[in-house]
Amino acid sequence: MSELEFTKFEQVNLKNHPLYNEKWVQEKIADDPSILGLGDLILLNEELIQPSGGRLDLLLYDSDNEQRYEVEIQLGRVDESHIIRAIEYWDIERKRYPQYDHIAVIVAEEITGRFLNIISLFNGHIPLIAIQMKALQCGQKITLDFTKILDRIELGGSEPPPPPTDRSYWEKKASPVTVTIADELLKLIRTFAPNFDLNYNKGYIGLMENGRANNFTYFNPKKKFLRLSIRLPKSEQFESRLDEAGLEMMSYSKSGRYKVRLYKKDIEKNADLLTEVLRESYGKAVE
């Protein structure tokens, strides 16, 4: 293995840069939210208009954990107004959509010790992440480096859907085999509710009944398995039945959904159990 060549990067101050401004940073994050280092996030909205008249820079979504990130970007040094604005937008969004966990994110080029202390006072009462951003240049190339310097501490309506996509998106993101597990689950659903179809979104594969979204359950295909998210009351009896059937319960979410790991072989082996729980969840959704 050959030795890599050492290259020195030069830090670029974006605040007064004639070309690379806040909008440029926002677009780079929107193109690939994973560069923030917060996981495989999905862009829900940019420049989201708020009732106060301001605009939230970025609204990001973690479909695995049903979390939303309200992201505010500032070039240069973070200041009081930036902190207040980030918290205000976080508060508005959590009240609009209480079924999700919401996390405020502050991104700035410089977060001083003084303001880090101020932000830390909120942490524990407001789930807040502070990320310091650096623009680095090497020759004719420039990149952004994000470092999380303050992590969140857990806190003790109609809904706009995630951006639409198609089947090929999921076959590339996950695999054709795991996407067919969603097909098999749809067949089970159609035994008691025949007017359902799959609805491909970037965050998950949902369901449409008679052309309208009805996500009493939805699916997240992965490379080797599919995660079934199904809305049901928490029940030790149900969890015991899953265990007896050899099915893995991954978690129970704040929004009242069981998350179950499914492989292709699990569908045929446990078709009766899966049909029963899908029917029960559907029945509660239409009550």
Instruction: Give the integer Cα–Cα distance in Å for 210 and 147.
Output: 46
Domain parsing of the chain, residue ranges: 10-150, 167-286
Residue 40, pLDDT > 90, answer no
Q: Which CATH superfamily is domain 167-286 in?
A: Transcription regulator MotA, C-terminal domain (3.90.1150.20)
Burial of residue 200 (number of CB atoms within 10 Å: 0-12, 13-18, 19+): middle
Residue 221, pLDDT > 50, answer yes
**Of the candidate ranges 67-71, 87-91, 251-255, the one whose mean pLDDT is the lowest:** 251-255
Mean pLDDT of the chain: 87
**Residue pair 48/60 in contact by the 8 Å Cβ criterion:** no
Q: State the pLDDT confidence band at 98, using cuts at 50, 70 and 90.
A: confident
**CB-facing half-sphere around the CA of 264: CA atoms within 13 A:** 10
Render pLDDT for 231-270 as a digit per residue (tens, 0 to 9).
Answer: 999 888 889 999 999 999 888 887 788 999 999 999 999 9
Render pLDDT for 150-168 as a digit per residue (tens, 0 to 9).
Answer: 876 444 444 455 677 899 9
The residue with tokens 């909205």 is 45
pLDDT at 154: 43
User: Mind spelling out the 3-state secondary structure of 192-254?
Assistant: CCCCEEEEEECCCEEEEECCEECCCEEEEECCCCEEEEEECCCCHHHHHHHHHCCCEEEEECC
pLDDT at 149: 83
Mean pLDDT of 104-128: 79
Give SS3 for 159. Answer: coil
**Element spanning 57, H or E:** strand 55-62
Residue 103, pLDDT > 70, answer yes
Higher pLDDT, 218 or 120: 218
In this structure, the number of other CB atoms found within 10 A of the CB of residue 173 comes to: 16
| Domain 10-150 sits in CATH 3.30.1490.190 | no
Instruction: Give the integer Cα–Cα distance in Å for 275 and 75.
Output: 53
Residues 6+ apart with CB under 8 A from 146: 35, 36, 37, 107, 131, 132, 133
pLDDT at 274: 94
